[in-house]
Amino acid sequence: MGALEEVVTVETLPHKKVKELMIGDNVLLTGDVEVKIKQTRKSQDYVSLSLVDNTGVVYINVWDNSPYFEELKVYHEQEIYAQLEVVCTKVGEFINADIKALKLVEKPYVEIVDIEAMTNELRQEIGRIKDKDLKALVISFFHRDDVKDSFFTAPASQLAGYSFRGGLLAHTLRKIHLSHSISIIFNEWTHNKDGFVAKLNEDLLVTASILDDMGKLYTLVPKAQKIEKSAEGELFEDSLLSMKMLWEELAKSSMPEKQKQILEHIIGASKGKTQFGALHIPRSREAVAYHMIDYLDSQMAGFENLERNASANQEFVQLFQKIYFLGSFDGE
């Protein structure tokens, strides 16, 4: 690649993470790189690069009088995985650098979860559903062409805890496990002397765990090594798309109308608040319980994602304008 590629052969340079950069560092960075040609208000062209690794983002501008400008223009509107030689020029809220070299490299693929084992486990969980109408409904979903070919490898989030191959399946199974555990806690409680206990319908919770996120098959699109939102995902909440799929299957079901309404309510209220994507707020025991199950698992998966991508000595990391603590008390 001309001048850029000649420089990147310097193997004595240290490799660093974005978060570790200090002003003046001449280092190698590796990560996802987005390249765009932009223009200033005075009509001067420049190439804008942003490199993302698992600790942060570094921004690089290459002006049209740079010897690298023409070579970098080739990657306009592309997302590549590359190794850059940079000199850090600014740290703080935004990290900036000058580029000296770029080399395309193959992104290492890491399988996060065991999809085959989880698929077998999900089949077993579906078989455990006692209510024949709910079980038939779940099975009908997995006969759909838009589900059977994509559900088991689909992600469940764009940037957070389940943004990987098999993420939707992992999220579903964990919600099922939580449904079993929480149902036991309330259904087997015997200490209320007046006999009033907030018992839960375990089959409803398990069914909601499986069907709630089906709309994400339409809203999230794996692209290269990233998860992007589809046009439908930008326009509609995945809750609405899940509900549309549910209505299609319920129209063919012999399930009693009241049971249909209860299930619709649980799934439509899964995100808790309308500002978070819920179609309505939870108003039943199962709807409240399922919202908490979904929220708890999403948060815990978020911590896993932060730990997975943090450097070894990081205790505090930032995600979506919040600082999270990754430490724990182990009693020692």
CA end-to-end span of the chain, whole Å? 54
Q: Which residues pair with 283 in a beta bridge?
A: none
Query: Using CA atoms, how far apart are residues 86 and 94, in angstroms rounded to an integer?
Result: 15
Helical axes 257-268 vs 132-142, angle rounded to 10°: 60
pLDDT by residue for the chain (332 residues), tens only, comes to 445 555 455 557 899 988 889 999 999 999 889 899 998 888 888 999 999 887 788 999 999 888 888 888 888 888 788 999 999 999 988 999 999 988 888 887 778 999 999 999 999 999 999 999 999 999 999 999 999 989 999 999 987 789 999 999 999 999 999 999 999 999 999 999 999 999 999 999 999 999 999 999 999 988 766 788 999 989 999 999 999 999 999 999 999 999 999 999 999 999 999 999 999 999 999 999 999 999 999 999 988 888 877 665 667 776 666 777 877 766 55
Q: Cα angle vertex 234, ends 233, 239, to 5°?
A: 45
- Neighbour tally for 159: CB within 10 Å: 11
Query: Using CA atoms, how far apart are residues 76 and 49, in angstroms rounded to an integer?
Result: 10
Q: What are phi and psi of 25, to 5 degrees?
A: -60, 130
Q: Which residues pair with 37 in a beta bridge?
A: 47
